[in-house]
Amino acid sequence: MLYFSNTISEEKSSEGVERTSVAFKTLKSEMDEDRVGYYKLPIKSQDLLEDLQTLDISQFSQIVVIGIGGSSLGIKAIDSILESITPDAKEMIFFENSDPLTISENIAKIDKERACFFVISKSGSTIETTSIFKTLIGHFNLELDNAKNIFAITDKDSSLSKFASFHNIKEFNIPLNVGGRFSVLSAVGVAPLYVAGYDVKAILEGGDEFLESFFSGDENHLLQKANYLYTNAKQESINVVFSYADRLNNFTKWYVQLWGESLGKIDKNGNRVGLTPIGIIGSVDQHSFLQLIIEGPKDKNITFINIDNFNNDIKIPDISLYGIEKTDFINHTSFNTLINEQCSATMQSVMESGVSCDKITLDTISEKNIGAMIIYYELLTSLVGTMFQVNTYNQPGVELGKKILYKNLGDK
């Protein structure tokens, strides 16, 4: 279960009430008219699980994911979080970037006889993905025709789809009305995470429960937060997610892509709009970024995320060290308590310095909580995008960079 606390007061002005009402109705219309597909993924992807259960995956103990951005970040986030509570989870190896050192290091980890390969690209021709896939084919001399250890995840009829069909490779399709960064609960995340041994059904259930709660009118805090972010966008142009758990690091990276690529746009009036996303980790970044938050420009708002119960009882031992006895008061305290007290104290210091903040608490690490967190941030992104009056689901700035890259590399 997720718990929410914030310093954001309910919007009572007629303008604010109208804005949140319009945004809510817009999202409801996007869902009901099936113009935007991520709303229905928690239900539709249940059918995908039935398909996956027919596969013989018993020989695989390594899951190699070849994808970038929306084709990898969400999968990596879920793997990082749930690995600790899934003892039988299989190793996942991610090929994302064009960095030759990382590519070589990852290749060295792969046991060809134990590995299966998921090549993921919505467009089907992402240059980083196809370049790495070619490299793996060449290095491991992978047989393509009727391959049982290669899976393609892409749009129907894309170039990757045609490749998979030509070689009779198992293919999973991404709904055409689901953008890459909103696709983690589609085949993009469901297929590799299922093969890796995660309880994907529970993840989907958590997402569906939060969606139902939101559209039933039981998550009005989300509307208030979206309205606050929009209303104060010029003064507080930086949105910081401060996660108090190492395993949430990849989740914050997923949030950064979702937020930045969806909201950094030119609105219908020709204005450049958006909120700069920053993801940091506590308590580590109390010793770096926090100083800027407390005494730097008041151009930020902060969302703290913490885990109430890590289900780990490791404690600080009753040891007194000469010269640093002043820290003995912490002896016998669990690290679970320590990190959450650090989160609370940091949030209090931020509030006392006059910086806006709110907090999301996961009662524990669970599949349902992760599914709910994914939907929470997708809904929040859609709400703010609607208020900014931008197309939340395209990325023309990214496409421009791709065109220049292709031209510079000699594509005619």
Catalytic positions: 261, 287, 402
Instruction: Annotate 138-150 with b (16+ C-beta within 10 A) or e (fewer).
Output: eebeeeeeebebb
Q: Which amino acid is residue 380, in one-letter code?
A: L
Handedness of CA 380, 386, 392, 393 (dihedral sign): positive
**Residue pair 157/45 in contact by the 8 Å Cβ criterion:** no
**Residue pair 63/172 in contact by the 8 Å Cβ criterion:** no
How far, in Å, CA of 38 to CA of 70, rounded? 13
Strand 91-95: give its sheet, edge to edge.
91-95, 62-66, 115-120, 150-155, 170-174
CA separation (Å) from 84 to 80, 103, 119, 138, 209?
A: 8, 26, 25, 34, 24
Paired tokens of 137: 């084919």
**Residue pair 231/292 in contact by the 8 Å Cβ criterion:** no
361 CB contacts (<8 Å, ≥6 apart)?
2, 3, 4, 5, 305, 306, 307, 308
Task: Give the number of other Cβ atoms within 10 Å of residue 401's Cβ.
Answer: 10
64 CB contacts (<8 Å, ≥6 apart)?
92, 93, 95, 110, 115, 116, 117, 118, 136
How far, in Å, CA of 169 to CA of 165, rounded? 6
How far, in Å, CA of 57 to CA of 67, rounded? 21
**Residue pair 256/267 in contact by the 8 Å Cβ criterion:** no
